[in-house]
Structure 1
Amino acid sequence: MFKKLPGDETQSLVSTTPDTAVVFRPAVVRTPAFVTLVIFAARLVAGLVRLVWRHPIASAVVAAPCAVAWWYGWRAGLVLVAVAVTVLALWCSLHRPSFLRWAGWRLLAFWRFLWVYRRHWQAVMVVSGLGRHLRGRDYLPHLVRVRCTSWADVVTVKMLHGQAVKDWADRLDHLAHGFGARSCRVSIARAGRLHLVFPRHDPLAVPLPAMPIPEQASVGPVCIGTREDGAPWLLNVHGTHVLVAGATGAGKGSVIWSTIRGLLPAVRADLVEIWALDPKRMELSFGRALFGDRYAATPAECADLLEAAVAVMQERADRFAGLQRSHTPTPEDPFVLVVVDEVAFLTAYQSDKSLKLRITAALATLTTQGRAVGVGVLAALQDPRKDVLNIRNLFPDKIALRLDESEQVDMVLGDGARDRGALADHISPVPQQGAGVGYVRLEASPEPIRVRAAYVSDADIRAMAEAVAA
């Protein structure tokens, strides 16, 4: 009537020896030595083929001298090594970029693959908890390849079945210290594979001087600094809205003035108008000549200027309706960039409730309807909490400079940004090291990018204002 469950048979077993447990051992199947040797040889050949396929240049550098020494003697092998080293040294001295591209980074990747990552892979995976021990066997994530750039190692990893990206994001400190790096970042390569980025040095440690003013008038994207990979940092302000968050002294002014500097030729060509809201009366006041009568300092003036921008936006929307869906800057309809230096003072710390409501309503209207008609908002604030700025999600592009708390990183860049390596709370408070350094999350890419904005000095700002006034 009742079905027997597995293990019920053990109830009928009786041991005549006290305190003796019944031990059940699985059946042992003995594998012939020949089969074991064949499997080992097949794995060895497959590993060698995979090594040569992924690192052809490094493998040739090692294999060629060994083959020559085997056939013609060790002296011939030594001569070949000396000739190869001489050729590589001449190539590196004559044209270093091509040497690094075709040989240098590949050789470095081969060396670090063997000496740094493969050598410590099992220990780091087991200690960090990313490896698993099941039924007497160790299951480790597969180290696929290592690629070296000028500043970091990019390690491609195949995850274990059932693992998630969060499992790796929670162990970034373990991975960084395990492989001797300062930090580690994780990104998704494709289904089941990850890219782990281990920086070898910090290319953004040195402050950047102001970017040169472009020769041609353009609304962007404008170059305002450099990215961690050495590429220029291009910020798009036309057709989007940008939110810059950072603590005091983090470098928000560098982002604002570098953007204005990149738009200066377009301002002189009447393709761009910059409307400035400067409630602190400090940052933007240096360049009042750039803004003309579109400069506001008091809360009442800021509210009036924002409502004027809303009026321009609505007037354009009425004219563009049914005719065009995107904005092309012209002297008749220039791109309007509304720059707000400290938006929290106007939306959260303003004592006049009527002004606060007017400013919040105008900003919400601009950020929801201004993109298509050529009205953009570049806002900066120190405190990114929702009760300070409840419209922060209306800014598609976000920049997180140095922040005070780890929770603020996700408030600015979105959930999970810090787990993927956007450590804005770890940026140095020393101005020479951390001012202008931050992480960018664009609307088109959810992965945070580490950048540094160029420093625009007071002399540069005055020269810009004089150029426009002239």
Structure 2
Amino acid sequence: MFKKLPGDEARNLVSTTPDTAVVFRPAVVRTPAFVTIVIWLSRLIAGLVRLVWRHPIAIAVPAMPGVTWTLYGWRPALLLVGLVALVGLSWASLHQSSFLRLVGWRLLAFWRLVWIYRRHWQPVMIVSGLGRHLRGRDYLPRLMRVECDGWADRVTVKMLNGQAVKDWADRTDQLAHGFGSRSCRMSIARAGRLVLTFPRRDPLAAPLPAVPIPDVVSVGPVEIGAREDGTPYRLKVHGTHVLIAGATGAGKGSFLWSTIRGLLPALRAGLVELWALDPKLMELSFGRDLFTRYAADPDQCADLLDDAVTVMQERAGRFAGLQRSHVPTTADPFVLVLVDEVAFLTAYQSDRTLKQRITAALATLTTQGRAVGVGVMAALQDPRKEVMNIRNLFPDKIALRLDESEQVDMVLGDGARDRGALADHISPVPELGAGVGYVRLETSPDPVRVRAAYVSDDDIRAMVAHYATPTCTAPAESVPVQRSASDSALVVDSTPVTGAAPVAPEGVQANG
């Protein structure tokens, strides 16, 4: 207890003869055996009480047969084990969710605490630099609790005094590999305590089929896919603006079409209007009959955005002094402006005047449109500031597969990647990574990993066949497309065609 370590005396000795070994006898203060026994017994009792308090189910499972064997013999103990096993199997088959919540996950948490985390805690902490070995003693962060569910372990840790959250954020890779997980995510529980999330499996590894069209008429939140824990992911579109950033083939269309699919009942009821801007003429044109207004030519896109600003300002004038938030009605429906490739209209637009009009309109909508029921959902590939200088005006952001780690913080905010948003590690294979992304909600700084459902071409055709109405044709914004005689590039005729059906280019099937 009061023993001096050998190193304490050695550093005070100086030898002037190089070939002579330093010989010393360390000073030792002997502690009475009674004091040592009392200290060890108190620690043992405190540890047992803490173990029973934290893991009652795991302790009761082996304790009850042991006590029965000691008091009544092995036959009653064997009968008790068989009875408990039968009850457990019956419970698990009849109501699996409650069995897992009350028994299954607690047993798994106790097993992983003992076999995975407690067993490897000291070497992982020392090697990663989160613990210290000083003068023969280990100073380690305290492992407080392990909780399990269907997909991950959540480990509560008490940091050492003097440690910062950044010390742990910089070592998430070491922690993940040290405890045998593919990744590690960190969140702050309270001052001095962190929660480390170690996934055991990936519920988002396989593509998700299109979410069924809801039966209830609602403007959101819209169910568009699933979260990493297996629960449905619902995207808020009414009362906010959403920015989707991802490289080519990352699955931005899955988020756009899943949102459209979830709003179809409200669209038919007249509570929602979908205004689509499709400068690439590839993504949203496939279901243009679903949109209240549709534009592809940059001039018409600018006009559509100006009209949205006019609607927004007209509503703001009527709502002033009467209401502070928008309630969708058939007279004032929720207007969702969908922009497939916003960078084409802002950063890559050669017409300077047109570029300024579009940027100003988007900035006005994203700063003033939420309260009056005008929302913007924009998708882009490059999240750099010079490409999208108004990205901070979008409260909700989604980062799909990105090319560089720095782009993650550009989309989700500073420190998002350190907290586990590894968007640059998403697989480029479509079956594994298309539609997978990290979401930072307006109310939380911690990223959430989600996957949007894949809406196939057949699903879109069925949506158009059942939900396209005469009010969703927007003839003035439907632009004819013709193929240039000199090359295979698509040339857009900017002349509006009123009352005429849209003409599809060669090789592209017309919808509707």
Q: Normalised by the shorter chain, which TM-score bucket? A: over 0.9
2:99 alignment partner in structure 1: 99
Offset of residue 18 of structure 1 = 4.7
1:352 alignment partner in structure 2: 351
1:330 equivalenced with 2:364 (yes/no): no
2:113 alignment partner in structure 1: 113
Structure 1 counterpart of 2:98, which letter?
A: S
Offset of residue 183 of structure 1 = 0.9
> 1:172-187 maps to which residues of 2 (within 5 A)?
172-187=172-187
Offset of residue 78 of structure 1 = 3.3
Range 123-132 or range 24-33, more displaced:
24-33
**Separation in structure 2 between the aligned mates of residue 346 and residue 17 of structure 1, nearest angstrom:** 79
Offset of residue 330 of structure 1 = 1.0
Distance 1:24 1:355, change over 3 A: farther
1:47 equivalenced with 2:36 (yes/no): no
Offset of residue 287 of structure 1 = 1.0
2:306 alignment partner in structure 1: 307
Deviations 1:364-387 (CA, angstroms, capped at 9, x unpaired): 111011111111000000100111
Structure 1 counterpart of 2:136, which letter?
A: G
> 1:5-20 maps to which residues of 2 (within 5 A)?
18=17
Distance 1:27 1:317, change over 3 A: farther
Distance 1:207 1:249, change over 3 A: same
Deviations 1:98-118 (CA, angstroms, capped at 9, x unpaired): 211111111111111111111
> 1:118-157 maps to which residues of 2 (within 5 A)?
118-157=118-157
1:162 equivalenced with 2:162 (yes/no): yes
Contact kept? 1:289, 1:466, Cα under 8 Å: no
1:8 alignment partner in structure 2: none
**Separation in structure 2 between the aligned mates of residue 15 and residue 306 of structure 1, nearest angstrom:** 82
1:160 match: secondary structure: coil
1:273 alignment partner in structure 2: 273
**Separation in structure 1 between the aligned mates of residue 413 and residue 69 of structure 2, nearest angstrom:** 59
Structure 1 counterpart of 2:435, which letter?
A: G
Offset of residue 86 of structure 1 = 2.7
**Separation in structure 2 between the aligned mates of residue 347 and residue 148 of structure 1, nearest angstrom:** 46
1:57 equivalenced with 2:50 (yes/no): no
2:332 match: secondary structure: coil
Q: In percent, how many aligned pairs have the same letter?
A: 77
2:245 alignment partner in structure 1: 245
Offset of residue 26 of structure 1 = 8.7
**Separation in structure 1 between the aligned mates of residue 251 and residue 241 of structure 2, nearest angstrom:** 19
1:226 match: secondary structure: strand
2:331 match: secondary structure: coil
**Separation in structure 1 between the aligned mates of residue 453 and residue 185 of structure 2, nearest angstrom:** 24
Distance 1:30 1:243, change over 3 A: same
Structure 2 counterpart of 1:50, which letter?
A: R
**Separation in structure 2 between the aligned mates of residue 371 and residue 266 of structure 1, nearest angstrom:** 18
Deviations 1:123-164 (CA, angstroms, capped at 9, x unpaired): 111111111123432111111111110011111111111111
Distance 1:388 1:70, change over 3 A: same
Range 119-128 or range 82-91, more displaced:
82-91
Contact kept? 1:244, 1:381, Cα under 8 Å: yes
1:259 alignment partner in structure 2: 259
1:297 alignment partner in structure 2: 296
Offset of residue 349 of structure 1 = 0.7
Distance 1:90 1:260, change over 3 A: same
Contact kept? 2:120, 2:179, Cα under 8 Å: yes
Offset of residue 40 of structure 1 = 1.0
Structure 1 counterpart of 2:266, which letter?
A: A
Distance 1:25 1:280, change over 3 A: farther
1:385 alignment partner in structure 2: 384
**Separation in structure 1 between the aligned mates of residue 421 and residue 24 of structure 2, nearest angstrom:** 52
Contact kept? 1:397, 1:442, Cα under 8 Å: yes
Q: State the superposition RMSD in angstroms.
A: 2.0
Structure 2 counterpart of 1:214, which letter?
A: P
TM-score, normalised relative to structure 1: 0.93
Deviations 1:387-440 (CA, angstroms, capped at 9, x unpaired): 100000000000011111111111111111111111111111111111111110
Deviations 1:55-77 (CA, angstroms, capped at 9, x unpaired): 11111012112212222334443
Distance 1:140 1:323, change over 3 A: same
Structure 2 counterpart of 1:316, which letter?
A: R
1:317 match: secondary structure: helix
How many matched pairs?
Answer: 457
> 1:307-456 maps to which residues of 2 (within 5 A)?
307-456=306-455
**Separation in structure 1 between the aligned mates of residue 37 and residue 270 of structure 2, nearest angstrom:** 78
Deviations 1:244-291 (CA, angstroms, capped at 9, x unpaired): 011111110010011111111111111111110000000000111111
Deviations 1:28-67 (CA, angstroms, capped at 9, x unpaired): 4332222111111111111111110011111101211221
2:313 match: secondary structure: helix
Contact kept? 1:217, 1:269, Cα under 8 Å: yes
Offset of residue 338 of structure 1 = 0.5
1:5 alignment partner in structure 2: none
1:283 equivalenced with 2:283 (yes/no): yes
**Separation in structure 2 between the aligned mates of residue 441 and residue 220 of structure 1, nearest angstrom:** 17
Offset of residue 335 of structure 1 = 0.7
1:275 match: secondary structure: strand
Contact kept? 1:409, 1:417, Cα under 8 Å: yes
Distance 1:350 1:26, change over 3 A: farther
Range 79-88 or range 18-27, more displaced:
18-27
Structure 1 counterpart of 2:191, which letter?
A: A
Offset of residue 24 of structure 1 = 10
Offset of residue 94 of structure 1 = 2.7
Range 238-247 or range 315-324, more displaced:
315-324
Residue ranges of structure 1 left out of the alignment (5+ in a row): 1-12
Distance 1:362 1:72, change over 3 A: same
**Separation in structure 1 between the aligned mates of residue 244 and residue 63 of structure 2, nearest angstrom:** 53
> 1:27-46 maps to which residues of 2 (within 5 A)?
28-46=28-46
Contact kept? 2:15, 2:22, Cα under 8 Å: no
Contact kept? 2:384, 2:407, Cα under 8 Å: yes
